[in-house]
Amino acid sequence: MPAVLFQRVLGFTGRIVTLFLTVGITLLGLVALTFCIGRLVPIDPVLSVVGQKASEEVYQRVFLEMGLDKPLWQQFLLYAGKLVQGDFGTSFVTNRPVLSDLAGFFPATLELATLGLLIGTLVGVPAGVAAAYWHGRWPDYLIRFIGLIGYSVPIFWLGLVGLFIFYSRLDWVSGPGQIDVFFQGIVTPVTGALLIDSLIAGEGEVFGNALSHIVLPAALLGYYSLAYISRMTRSMMLDQLSREYVLTARLKGATEYRAVMLHALRNAAIPLVTVIALSYGGLLEGSVLVETVFAWPGIGNYIASSLFRADINAVLGGTVLVGAVFILLNMVSDVVYQMLDPRSNLRRR
């Protein structure tokens, strides 16, 4: 018995160590790739600080202060060392630490992506189940066609069309931005998510105005994730519905609802955890265009505006943060998958 317990502890410790090594190597590769791209783009970071009219003496002084005279590998080591200490550098535009800017902008992106994922999941999973159940019939073709549009049409174009129809013509939603100017400053930030903060403060009017601003961009992100989630749900459900246990359940007199929802969907839900987590990470990454179109004060808009202003520190910091969140979501989904699927534990033995 002690030997078996020791082997289990040893195996668990080994998996934890492997997990942390994998995450560490992945993050290191992400930082290295992001840093090299930031240094190879045709943008002079010194000019973004001193301006085009600075003298040669000022230019050279800032050039040395930024360490650009050192070899690229030394610059990377210095940058990575600062990242380990939580120092992302200073934004040339805002003149504040990049980490402070990211902490201020990221909650808005998280709020938008979370609402988009909820829409995509609540609609995409039932749509995928329906497409699999009516495989080869008109509901299947209709759902696949709707998903194909979500994959094919550029999301920024959908955003512009959505603003023109639902804001400019129909006046069903509010325009760009997170909230109207009249309501700014009423709610004290607690979580950074305006919908939650307005509920905490009991400001119903602020909540309603914020909701009218977020509903359209969140619906677009939800449509984008719906296309992916419904397609993957359909594929997994088709596989489960063809299994013998579903046929056995039907032969035993189980209703179609029970056979599909309680048997097939329950087994398909396990790999769907990974699909939804990856979709969430994709929304955090892909929110740049949506935030730019809707002037949403999130990290995507922050990265885009920083890129146009040659603020390399802000671009690198935002990219590293989004990549780290994506890696974290992937890691969490793997852990949850192993917890939900007992077969994954059997394969490790």
User: Where does residue 222 rank: exposed (0-12), middle (13-18), buried (19+ CB within 10 A)?
Assistant: buried
The residue type of 228 is: Y
Q: Are residues 157 and 72 in the same domain?
A: no
**Domain contains 3:** no
Q: Are residues 219 and 314 in the same domain?
A: yes
Q: Are residues 61 and 190 in the same domain?
A: no
Quote the tokens at residue 348.
Answer: 């490790």
Query: For the chain, how many structural domains are there in total?
Result: 2
Q: What is the pLDDT along the chain (349 residues), one digit of tens a residue?
A: 466 555 666 665 766 777 677 777 877 887 888 778 777 766 777 776 777 777 778 878 877 877 777 888 888 888 888 887 888 888 877 788 888 888 888 899 989 999 999 999 999 999 999 999 898 899 899 999 998 888 888 888 888 999 999 998 888 988 888 888 888 888 888 888 888 889 888 888 999 999 999 999 999 999 989 988 999 999 989 888 888 887 787 777 777 778 888 778 888 888 888 888 888 887 877 677 888 889 888 888 888 888 777 777 888 888 888 888 887 887 777 777 777 665 555 444 4
Q: Which residues contact 202 (CB under 8 A, 6 or more apart)?
A: none
**Domain contains 269:** yes
| pTM score of the predicted model | 0.82
Of 84, 115, 131, which residue constitutes the final position of a domain? Answer: 84
- CATH of residue 181's domain is 1.10.3720.10
> Which residues lie across from 97 on neighbouring strands?
90
Q: Are residues 50 and 105 in the same domain?
A: no
Phi and psi angles of residue 90, each rounded to the nearest 5 degrees, phi first: -115, 135
**Domain contains 122:** yes
Task: Round to whole Å and give the CA distance between 190 and 201.
Answer: 9
Residue at token pair 């398909």: 268
**pLDDT score, position 77:** 84
Task: Round to whole Å and give the CA distance between 15 and 332.
Answer: 14
- In 3D, which of 251, 90, 106 has the Cα closest to residue 191? 106
Q: Are residues 207 and 80 in the same domain?
A: no
**pLDDT score, position 342:** 57
Task: Round to whole Å and give the CA distance between 139 and 130.
Answer: 7
Q: Are residues 41 and 148 in the same domain?
A: no
Task: Round to whole Å and give the CA distance between 292 and 196.
Answer: 23
Q: Are residues 105 and 73 in the same domain?
A: no
**pLDDT score, position 121:** 92
**pLDDT score, position 261:** 80
Which domain does 317 fall in, by range? 98-348
Q: Are residues 73 and 104 in the same domain?
A: no
Of 29, 54, 84, which residue constitutes the final position of a domain? Answer: 84
CB 153 within 8 A of CB 262: no
Q: Are residues 51 and 199 in the same domain?
A: no
**pLDDT score, position 346:** 44
Q: Are residues 222 and 311 in the same domain?
A: yes
* CA-angle at 348, arms to 347 and 349, nearest 5°: 95
Q: Are residues 69 and 203 in the same domain?
A: no
**pLDDT score, position 1:** 47
Q: Are residues 241 and 103 in the same domain?
A: yes
Sign of the four-CA dihedral 58, 64, 69, 72: negative
The residue type of 340 is: L
